[in-house]
Chains A and B, each alone.
Chain A
Amino acid sequence: MAFDDAYHALTDHDDDARWAYGTGFTDPLAGVPGDLPDGVDRAELATYCLMLGDDALILSHRLQQWVTRAPELEDELALANIGLDLLGQARLLLTRAGAAEGWGRDEDDLAMRRDPSGFRNLCLAERADADFAHLVARLLALSTWRLAMLDRLTASRDPMLAAIAAKGVKEVTYHRDYAAQWVVRLGDGTPLSHDRMLAAVETLTPQLAELFHPHPTEIGLASVGVAVDPATLEAEFTQVWTRVLQAATLLPPEASAPSHAAASAGAGSGAERGDARPWGRAGEHTPALAEILDEMQGVARSVPGGVW
């Protein structure tokens, strides 16, 4: 479809309209049975889907911000594609969340009409990257965590979560490899790239505790076979993280990983969470999330129903 006036097109309606808020996109789970497993609380399942969907949505937006800033065209494509994979996972998970809560909210409502306190993503997903080394370190941490989690989630009693996870595993395997290869290339590169990669890892390390600190919703749904308790992911995460950092000459060959989670993971009570604050899973966020939402939701909120 062609328009003489791009601004006019924003409010013009056409059967072919797509790629904009609120129209064109049909339910990505159209035609997929949406039954809930027995004995599962709707609100809890919705919250859990929001957690995993918001992780993907917010990290996807951070990755999109790197497009036009990446060191090479190939990396722009890679980051855009990783962001697209995560956006796809987010759409499925937010749609599932909306269906589970049963208030009639769809993926657009959830992505575009919630305030920061309604978002349940890990704070690690929303953090801004000071440089490319920060980005690949953060992507390595989040994709290592997400891959371990999705892999276990393929056995979920919720057939929808299991199906979303099985698709996601194939995608996040590539995301983790991409990040790991960059961490190794920079860490084991020039003295300058080594120092900057090391600085990125040192900045990130205290922020990792949040990954393994379970929220009551995660524990409750894990106990009925629907969710994965993130505390159970720490051993696999540490093994992968250590191996990559050693290959990147950022850890001595025989060293164990920094005890990033020792201070708080599995500690149980909020008072012992220590450096797991702010706690994204409970809706506590850094100011970075509000900045992301200003940008991400701006058009949808100022031109409700706009299409082009």
Chain B
Amino acid sequence: MITLAELGVIREVRQDESGVQVTITPTYSGCPAMESIRADIRTALRRAGFGRAEVRTVIAPPWTTDWISESGRRKLAEAGIAPPGAAPVRAIGPIPISLSPRPTAVACPRCGHTDTETLAAFGATACRELRRCPACREPFEHMREI
């Protein structure tokens, strides 16, 4: 199971005399899991015997897939989700528009074939796209780099 820390959602954990303070950040503005994440963290801390726990949300700096740890990437791949590559580096000037599906080389998490194609830029969640491997002919999900 991939953890919130491996996803880079947990930004900081501090403990002082007033209790534990956990700082989290949403992956996307509309992430519907934030309330569950906050509740889960509070529950986990309570079960571990920490009395007062505060969960704070920060939105800056914005979450990036570059914060997913190596172990997180490995677990995504084991679950059949191709992990994100490096987040795009912003050049000076207006953000360029893409008029065709991005040619990003994404390796198939099942067979390793690298020349896979985009089926849909938005998958089951905003952060996943649906791709297909022409070698093993299996569709798979890829976590988009942002």
Contact = CB atoms under 8 A, between A and B. Distances in A.
A150 to B, nearest CB: 10
A25 B36 CA distance: 10
Interface stretch (A86-94, A262-270, A294-302): A86-94
B125 interface: yes
Secondary structure dominating the interface of B: loop
A78 B29 contact: no
Interface in B48-99: 54-63, 94-95, 97-99
Interface string A73-88: 0110110011011111
Interface in B97-130: 97-101, 119-126, 130
Interface residues of B, number: 39
B137 to A, nearest CB: 18
Contacts of B31: 88
Contact of B122 (A82, A162, A184): A82
Contact of A26 (B38, B121, B123): B38
A10 interface: no
Contact of B62 (A30, A167, A180): A167
18 contacts: A30-B38, A75-B120, A78-B121, A81-B126, A84-B28, A84-B32, A86-B30, A88-B31, A92-B59, A147-B95, A151-B94, A162-B60, A163-B60, A166-B62, A167-B60, A171-B29, A240-B97, A247-B99
Contact of A91 (B30, B55, B60, B122): B30
Given A31-B55, A85-B28, A87-B30, A243 B62 contact: no
Given A32-B59, A244-B97, A178 B121 contact: yes
A244 B59 CA distance: 32
A26 B56 CA distance: 11
B68 to A, nearest CB: 15
A228 B120 CA distance: 33
Contacts of B125: 81
Nearest to B54: A31
B97 A168 contact: no
Interface in A168-191: 168-171, 173-174, 176-178, 180-181, 184
Contacts of A283: none
Nearest to A18: B35
Given A74-B119, A177-B121, A85 B29 contact: yes
A184 B81 CA distance: 29
Sort A-B residue pairs by CB-CB distance and give the 10 closest, nearest first.
A88-B30, A31-B56, A88-B29, A74-B120, A163-B60, A78-B122, A81-B126, A84-B30, A167-B62, A170-B146
Nearest to B94: A236
A171 B126 contact: yes
Nearest to A179: B97
Contact of A243 (B32, B97, B126): B97
Interface of A: 16, 18, 24-26, 28-32, 74-75, 77-78, 81-82, 84-89, 91-92, 147-148, 151, 159, 162-164, 166-171, 173-174, 176-178, 180-181, 184, 236, 239-240, 243-244, 247
B60 A159 contact: yes
B122 A178 contact: yes
B122 A163 contact: no
B101 A77 contact: no
B29 A181 contact: no
B45 interface: no
B29 A180 contact: no
B34 interface: yes
